[in-house]
Amino acid sequence: MESINLIDTFSEFRELKSIDRTTMMSVLEDVFRSMLIKKYGTDENFDVIINVEKGDFEIWRNRMVVEDGLLEDPNLQISLSDAKKIDDDYEVGEAVTDEVKLDDFGRRMILSLRQNLTSRILELEKDHIYSKYKDKIGDIITGEVYQVWNREILILDDEGNELILPKSEQIPSDFFRKGDSARAVVVKVDMRNSSPVIILSRTTPVFLQRLFELEVPEIFDGLITIKKIVRIPGERAKVAVESYDERIDPVGACVGMKGSRIHGIVRELRNENIDVINYTSNIQLFIQRSLSPAKISSIKLNEADRHAEVYLKPEEVSLAIGKGGLNIKLASMLTEYEIDVFRDIAETEEDIDLEEFADEIEDWILDELKAIGCDTARSVLDLSVSELVKRTDLEEETVKEVMRILRSEFE
């Protein structure tokens, strides 16, 4: 029975397509020779023949024929009378080769050999998985969701290897069930307790870059280059692209006819808004494009501090800041400049900074107004009570009182 189990283990080893033939032969012979050394004290006089195709093996022992009564080491020598039992033609001084059967090793040693072989199989499998995915860092993997937990999701690839998608690497609106197909990018491969741990991510900018490479042939072919990607997963992303061919519009190519190319990416990212921007080394123009869809009146740059003051018409300020301040935050990340937005007020129009009302209006209320881009009295008065209530956390009565205070300054 133990012999059969060992042959089964050997067959399992033989079927590992990921292990090259040379490595397989070397490991198998090493395991068998370690068993021979354990039983006989040496393996030098043994020939181990492994047939990978058939999934079997043979062990042959070489011994020198000696006169009866002069036998000193039964492993290295064989008496003449015993040699003649094998073949009558044997004479003293000749070498005898006979097959060692697996059952000769005993049940315990066969069991130990099987465990050793199984252990080596697992080690090789783990090393193969680690090496395979180490080379795939940055590549997109598609797998099947096998288990969903609170902190992570277990995904199986086509070969049944286990991949981990942590909660922190999932888009906030991601929702997976067992059996679903999931796409993510390999970001990290570690060895923990001698086992490979493959970490996936759907939030890294690299995932978005790989999706563009899949959807836009010009990027895959190198005609269009992605210069930089910044994103707030599930909310908004900005992608700066550049074309090396003047005949190709990089933004148009990425978006596609009627948005055909970018729609698939947006769906994969759970409706994450994606702004594709034409890259330029002109930092003023780049900042202007990064704040799209807002139209900028003028920009003052401080290159030493990497700071930019952007002036816009009052109606453009909210567009530049964006919902929850996402647009200006991503623009700062993309351009690597700290961006401050100001209203471009005509010189003839009187206005007062909200800070001037600090003695009449509480600081937290002023902060609420500034958060939506209102930093002057007229910028607040330009909006209706209902709009201010909707865009801030202020009560209607509070808004009315603030507007009364501000309006009184102009009356």
CA distance 373 to 324: 11
- Give bridge partners of residue 243 from the DSSP assignment: 224
User: Taking Cα atoms as reference points, which of 258, 254, 248, 257 lies closest to residue 275?
Assistant: 254
Least confident of 15-29, 69-83, 129-143, 391-405: 15-29
378-385 contact pairs (CB < 8 A, 24+): 378/314, 378/345, 378/349, 378/351, 378/352, 379/314, 379/317, 379/343, 379/351, 380/354, 380/406, 381/406, 381/407, 381/410, 382/314
> What is the pLDDT averaged over residues 132-157?
95
Write the pLDDT tens digit of every residue in 104-129. 777 787 777 778 877 877 888 888 88
pLDDT at 40 over 80: yes
| pLDDT over 90 percentage in the chain | 41
390 to 79, 374, 379: CA distances (angstroms): 104, 14, 16
Write the pLDDT tens digit of every residue in 62-87. 989 888 878 888 888 888 888 888 88
| pLDDT over 70 percentage in the chain | 92
Task: Mention every residue, 6+ apart, whose C-beta is less than 8 A from residue 212.
Answer: 219, 226, 239, 254, 265
Q: Please tell me whether the peptide bond between 172 and the residue prior to it is cis, using omega within 30 degrees of 0.
A: no
Least confident of 55-64, 265-274, 395-404: 55-64
411 pLDDT band (50/70/90 cuts)? low
Pairing of strands 236-243, 273-278: parallel
pLDDT number for residue 333: 96
Q: Output the 3-class SS for the chain.
A: CHHHHHHHHHHHHHCCCCCCHHHHHHHHHHHHHHHHHHHHCCCCCEEEEEECCCCEEEEEEEEEEECCCCCCCCCCEEEHHHHHHHCCCCCCCCEEEEECCHHHHCHHHHHHHHHHHHHHHHHHHHHHHHHHHHCCCCCEEEEEEEEECCCEEEEECCCCCEEEEEHHHCCCCCCCCCCCEEEEEEEEEEEECCEEEEEEECCCHHHHHHHHHHHCHHHHCCCEEEEEEEEECCCEEEEEEEECCCCCCHHHHHHCHHHHHHHHHHHHCCCCEEEEEECCCCHHHHHHHHCCCCCEEEEEEECCCCEEEEEECHHHHHHHHCHHHHHHHHHHHHHCCEEEEEECCCCCCCCCEHHHHCCCCCHHHHHHHHHCCCCEHHHHHCCCHHHHHHHCCCCHHHHHHHHHHHHHCCC
pLDDT number for residue 334: 96
pLDDT at 306 over 80: yes
